[in-house]
Amino acid sequence: MSLYQPEPVEISTRMRPGEWTEASLEELVNSYRQRIVEMGASVTDVVTDIDRNDDGSVRVAVSWDKPANAGEEDSVAGGQVL
């Protein structure tokens, strides 16, 4: 039996105007990307979406759209072995 679950993984947040700078935004995105990779995603499977709004707010979403596991029961996408 495999523990692999093919549902997508997403880490996201919204920040109001004045709560972020370009440097802090870059740092936040990098930390979210690292967390997704630590969950088993390959760097190429991590998708980043940043929406800057007219009011100065920003929405950040970093996701891993995991494929259905077509391999053996003992392996999961991203190369992790159970």
Tell me the pTM: 0.74
Q: List, as own/partner pairs, every contact residues 14-23 make where C-beta atoms lie below 8 angstroms and the sequence separation is at least 24, other chains included.
A: 14/57, 14/58, 14/59, 14/60, 15/57, 15/58, 15/59, 15/60, 16/56, 16/57, 17/55, 17/56, 17/57, 18/56, 20/58
pLDDT of residue 46: 95
Strand ranges across the sheet with 9-15: 9-15, 58-64, 46-52
72: number of Cβ within 10 Å: 10
| Main-chain phi, psi angles of 35, to 5 degrees | -65, -40
3-state secondary structure of 39: coil
- Over residues 16-71, the pLDDT tens digits come to 999 999 999 999 999 999 999 999 899 999 999 999 999 999 999 999 988 776 55
